[in-house]
Amino acid sequence: MYKIAYFFALLYLMASCDTNKKEVKIEEAPIMYEASEMALLMRGMYEFNKAARAQIINKDSLSAFPEEFLLIHKAVLTDPSERDKEFDTIAEQFIDAQKAVFSTKSDSTLYHFNKSVNLCISCHETRCIGPIPKIKKLLIH
Ligand code: HEC
């Protein structure tokens, strides 16, 4: 039982933003990590862009822009104070870049894809640094 709890605690540490929580007191910590709306949206955006990366590399046709991504403008955050002016500005630029990847037929799909991944990273640099190494792997070199 302890081993299972430890495993979930590790999973939580890997997925979440906070890289400072090195030690977890299993007796006290709730085992279930309840993800915020924004965290769930982010996981979806990550998976979608990971699939898109493969489609771009294989020169397959791309899926349509998922309208659910617009929820970035209102999804509830774990820490609501992270939605500040800068967040809104980067979110806007990010959505524009993603639309350019998925809604337009262009020779510059790769450019727009890398631009949007760099905007994921820009936003994460100031408020959720944990997933940055994972996000960087989305860039197409
Ligand atoms: C405008 C800012 C912003 C942009 C753009 C952004 N993120 Fe996030 N991301 C956040 C914030 C803030 C959180 C923390 C959400 C929370 O805990 O409520 C987060 C959380 C995450 C998480 C962790 C989710 C979890 O399980 O806790 C992943 C993975 C992630 N983002 C990936 C991405 C990817 C991939 C992109 C681009 C395709 C992206 N993000 C774009 C701000 C952003």
Q: Are residues 117 and 139 in contact, defined by beta-carbon separation less than 8 angstroms?
A: yes
The residue type at 45: M
Q: What span, in angstroms and rounded, lies between the C-alpha atoms of 19 and 27?
A: 21
Please name the residue whose Cα sits nearest to atom 30 of ligand 1.
42
Distances (CA, A) of 17 to 36, 87, 124, 137: 12, 15, 9, 17
Q: What is the mean pLDDT of the chain?
A: 85
Cα–ligand 1 centroid distance for 104 (angstroms): 24
pLDDT of residue 29: 54
> What residue owns the CA closest to ligand 1's atom 28?
42
Rounded CA separation 35/41 (Å): 10
State the average pLDDT over residues 6-23.
54
Whether 120 lines ligand 1, by a CB cut-off of 6 Å, is yes
Query: Who wins on pLDDT, 23 or 112?
Result: 112
Provide the sign of the torsion angle of the four alpha carbons 105, 107, 110, 113, taken in this order. negative
The residue nearest atom 27 of ligand 1, judged by CA position, is: 16
**pLDDT of 28-47, one tens digit each?**
555 566 899 999 999 999 99
For ligand 1, atom 3, the nearest C-alpha belongs to 123
97 lines ligand 1 (CB under 6 A): no
Of residues 105, 99, 108, the one with CA closest to residue 69: 99
